[in-house]
Amino acid sequence: METEATIIHADLDAFYASVEQLLNPELLGKPIAVGGGVVLAASYEAKAFGVHGGMSGRKARELCPQLIFVGGHFREYQRLGDAAIAVLGDFTPLVERISIDEAFADVAGCTHLFGAPRDIAATIRARVRTELGLPISVGVARTKHLAKVASQVAKPDGLVVVDPDAESVFLHDLPVGLIWGVGPVSEARLKAEGILTIGQLAQTSSRDLQSFLGTAAGEKLSALAANRDPRKILPQVRARSAGAQSALGRRPAVAAVFKPTLWHLADRVTSRLRAKSLAGRTVTVRVRFADMRAVTRSATLDAPVSATVTVAEIAETLVRAALADHPEERTITLLAVSVSHLGEQPALQLELPLGLPDEVRRPGTRQGVARLSADMAMDKVRTRFGRGAVGYAAALINERGSVPDAFRELAEKDLG
DNA sequence: TCTGGGGTCCTAGGACCC
DNA sequence: TCTGGGGTCCTAGGACCC
């Protein structure tokens, strides 16, 4: 291999749990879980008992009776996550953030200033540890895929550098599940073919993999197993969709339940879009039933929309259609609204020139203008006085038991 | 007292156009 | 009248990631 290993993948260890242990040192060395009904993150001490993110709190307590549940300090997660990623930014502008606690960086252009990639990685780890008090694992390799696998292998609190000459050896005995894009389903399909390790994967023809997993997935996997990964670091990627969802427990599938929820969700989504001057042409809803089966319905419009009322009305129509297709389902457990086909929202102009979105141009009524203007006025009030200051009556829902908004915001991707 | 919330990408079939 | 092929867009569902 002629290229050098300059891609870094940095991943904070058991992030939320580590922050809690940092804020309260009495929790150090103890099995803790962030969350309540659902485990959002588990400390390594808790992971040793089989506790992991996404698990129900009840199941976690079963596995580890001495498990300590702690409330989330969401502001601190955001602040410390930002600060850790900012350390990467001190070395190069080529930083691609994947989530609150994880990022890639390409240090090819700054080794003359800061030394070899291995040294840069070691410095990053030391700085995050001393300046922020958090453990972080780092992988260094020639490609994003290898760097990501390396950081997973480095965990907890380690550094792994994959020499370009040793890539095949490094990957050979690792389980296929470590590959980015291989989840439970693919893993099971590969296992059925006797393929357990990345080495075995590399021995399998691309054609066979495509027949097991489908064209695109097979091709991609084949390339990764053979160490071909052309992906570059992309510092700021524009979002392609924005959505919001809400688990409801078990509720009757009637308008009195779904209407206020849809308005609330539409309001969440569209206010995020408007904040970035974005709008979208496709509105999608998702309805989950008591047996966890879910159906989706979508509608694509001629022009992008971002007004709360418009999206809420479309969502309502789509949900009614989905329910009409499943008259046997009397109970719903989740509703989701998302907007895709995103594009720039043209500035609102009073003259209504051509090119304005449909909701602004609605013939005769000027309804669109009114809707969007009302929303923009409301957005301003909320910016000054907070979300709860003003809103649509139809969107008023009882949020008891639902996930706090602070956590929702953590999960939100920057729409760019 | 089953399983949160926010995303990306792919597939397959149908509509429609040339 | 019947048949064919390619391209694009849309819809619904699903796998996967953090």
Q: Which residue has the tokens 């590399």?
A: A202
In a domain? residue A234? no
Domain extent, residue A254, equals 241-411
Nucleotide nearest to A290 (CA to C1'): B2
Measure A341 CA to C9 C1' (Å).
12
Same domain? For A63 and A202 the reply is no
pLDDT at A390: 87
Residue with minimal CA–C1' distance to B8 is: A240
A5 φ, ψ (degrees, to nearest 5): -85, 100
pLDDT band at A366 (very low <50, low <70, confident <90, very high): low
Report the nucleotide nearest the CA of residue A250, measured to C1': B1
Nearest nucleotide to the CA of A285, by C1', is C12
- Of the candidates A122, A138, A164, which is a domain's last residue? A164
* Domain CATH for A200: 1.10.150.20
A155 within a domain of the structure (yes/no): yes
**Structural domain total, chain A:** 3
- A252 and A305 assigned to the same domain: yes
Q: Are residues A12 and A135 in the same domain?
A: yes
Quick check: A342 and A237 in contact, CB under 8 A? no
We report the CATH number of the domain holding residue A339 as 3.30.1490.100
- The whole-number Å distance from A300's CA to B15's C1' is 14
Residues A54 and A202 in one domain: no
Are residues A56 and A135 located together in one domain of the fold?
yes
Residue A215 has pLDDT above 80, yes or no: yes
Residue A231: inside a domain:
no
A200 touches strand B (CB under 7 A): no
Residue A241 Cβ under 7 A from any strand B atom = yes
Q: In chain C, which nucleotides are within 7 Å of a protein Cβ? A: 9-18
- pLDDT band at A352; cut points 50, 70, 90: very low
Q: Note whether A143 and A18 are same-domain residues.
A: yes
Both ends of chain A: CA-CA distance in Å?
A: 35
Q: Could you tell me if residue A315 is inside a domain?
A: yes
In degrees to the nearest 10, what's the CA dihedral of A116, A119, A124, A129?
A: 180
Strand B positions closer than 7 A to protein CB: 1-12
Instruction: Examine the domain organization and report whether A106 and A203 are in the same domain.
Output: no
The answer to the question of residue A233 being in a domain is: no
- Residue A24 vs residue A347, higher pLDDT: A24
pTM above 0.85, yes or no: yes
- Protein footprint of strand C, defined by Cβ closer than 7 Å to any strand atom: A 54, 98-102, 148, 179-187, 281-282, 293-300, 341, 411
Would you name the residues of A annotated as active-site residues? Answer: 102
Residues of A from 255 to 274 whose C-beta is within 7 A of strand B: which are they?
268, 272
Among the three residues A111, A130, A164, which one is the final residue of a domain in this structure?
A: A164
Residue A96 and residue A204 in one domain: no
Residues A215 and A159 grouped into a single domain: no
What 3-state DSSP class applies to A345?
coil
Q: Is residue A235 part of a domain?
A: no
Measuring from the CA of residue A283 to each C1' atom, give the nucleotide at the shortest distance. C11
Looking at the fold, whether A204 and A315 belong to one and the same domain comes out as no
Per-residue pLDDT tens over the stretch A227-283: 999 899 988 888 999 999 999 999 999 999 999 999 999 999 999 999 999 999 999
Pairing of strands A294-305, A278-289: antiparallel
User: Mean pLDDT over residues A135-149, rounded?
Assistant: 97
Rounded, the Å distance between the CA of A49 and C1' of C9 is 50
Other CB atoms within a 10 A radius of the CB of residue A281 amount to 18
Buried b (16+ CB within 10 A) or exposed e, A66-90: ebbebebbbeebeebbeebbebbee
Give the nucleotide nearest to A401 (CA→C1'): B4
Please state, in angstroms and rounded to a whole number, the distance separating the CA atoms of residues A358 and A368: 7
pLDDT digits (tens, 9 = 90+) for A50-93: 998 888 888 899 999 999 999 788 889 999 999 999 999 999 99
A390 within some domain? yes
pLDDT at A269: 96
Is residue A218 located within the same domain as residue A194?
Answer: yes
Residues A15, A84: one domain? Answer: yes
Task: Round to a whole number and report the distance in Å from the CA of A64 to the C1' of B1.
Answer: 19
For residue A265, tell me if it sits in a domain. Answer: yes
